[in-house]
Amino acid sequence: MGQGPRTRRATLQTVADEVGVSRTTVSNAYSRPDQLNRDLRERILEAARRLGYAGPDATARSLRRGKAGAIGLLFTETLSYAFADPYSVGFLRGVAEVAESHGSGLLLIPLRPGDEESETTVRDAVVDGFCLYCVPFGHRARRVIEARGLPFVTTDDPGDPAVPYVGIDERASARLAADHLVRLGHRRFGVIIDIAAEQLTDAYADLRQRLGGYREVIEEVGLDWSRVPVVAAGRNDRGAAAQAAADLLDIADRPTAVLAVSDVLALGVLDAMEQRGLAAGREISVVGFDDVPEAARARLTTVHQPMEERGRRVGRLLLEPAAAHEGAPRHQVLPTELVVRATTGPAPR
């Protein structure tokens, strides 16, 4: 039994022949609709629908135009984390605001450890540039981006003023938090971080700088940093932080002040304190970092950093490269400030 004639796939030329116009006119109906009158464009689109033509290939079109119309945003967490972590949400909102104003989209690419497919995704992504958000500067993905010749901006300090970077002075910002507690008379400290101390390699430069700021202030008042308990929640998660806080709250000589490297962790410490009937700001003082929306509701003392503005600056460096040549530095350090609320008070006698 023979096969029937194979149905040919509709193309740009097929639609052009059907309507009786040129290929360019059909292409303009999709990419430059302002070049056609409304009736002609509707005739072309109707013919395309009837013939089963879905429109020009997006990848090929972007290559011809020299612009993809999207930013690739890389991060080393799960995709769901990007929408659950309050700091990430604020940062993404800032990037999206600038992208939207330029008619660009966002392509979120999670980089899973040891996953070669993630690297392939970076190599094949149809984007105009990349943001390395909380991605260690030495990550292999950066070498892939450089090999492609695409612009990128990092939020982890690369240690090179010539590399596009938007961030904060982590060490100085951490000093604000520790100095506030020292001035209140505290001398017994505890610290809570998200990852285990033995994982603090050079890849986690920003977190190391933040801990370095705490350490400097504590040692300046004659205390031994090695005797300060540092506990790890394992991840930046409120529930995990509440569990980890037991190692600080349930010891005989417990700290009178706890420094948390994020507000999420600090909120977990407050939860653990509430379970134990401990009053924040009176029995134990707690300071967070970031100033996410929940921090204000919990009356948490914290270090404020401009989440959304950081995202906006990243978006502008990627989508407005001319700005970098008109006075806007490619290495931008944003200001931070200590916001004092109810969770800190004088050290108890």
Segment 162-191, tens digit of pLDDT = 889 999 999 999 999 999 999 999 999 999
* Ranges of the chain with pLDDT below 70: 1-8, 56-66, 113-117, 196-203, 322-328
Q: Could you please report the per-residue DSSP string of 164-225?
A: -EEEE-HHHHHHHHHHHHHHTT---EEEEESS-GGG--GGGHHHHHHHHHHHHHHHHTT--G
Q: What is the pLDDT of residue 151?
A: 92
Q: What is the pLDDT of residue 30?
A: 76
Q: For the chain, give every residue range classified as CATH 1.10.260.40.
A: 12-56
Whole-angstrom distance, CA of residue 179 vs CA of residue 220 = 10
Q: What is the pLDDT of residue 5?
A: 46
Q: What is the pLDDT of residue 198?
A: 62
Helix (H) or strand (E) holding 116: helix 116-124
Fold for domain 70-167+307-332? Rossmann fold (3.40.50)
Whole-angstrom distance, CA of residue 214 vs CA of residue 221 = 12
Q: For the chain, give every residue range classified as CATH 3.40.50.2300.
A: 70-167+307-332, 170-306
Whole-angstrom distance, CA of residue 68 vs CA of residue 66 = 7
For domain 12-56, which CATH number applies: 1.10.3720.10, 3.50.50.60, 1.10.260.40, 3.90.1150.10?
1.10.260.40
Q: What is the pLDDT of residue 274?
A: 98
Q: Is the dihedral of CA 117, 94, 319, 99 positive or negative?
A: positive
- Amino acid type, 224: D
Q: Residues 141, 169: contact at Cβ < 8 Å?
A: no
The domain made up of 170-306 is a member of CATH 3.40.50.1100:
no
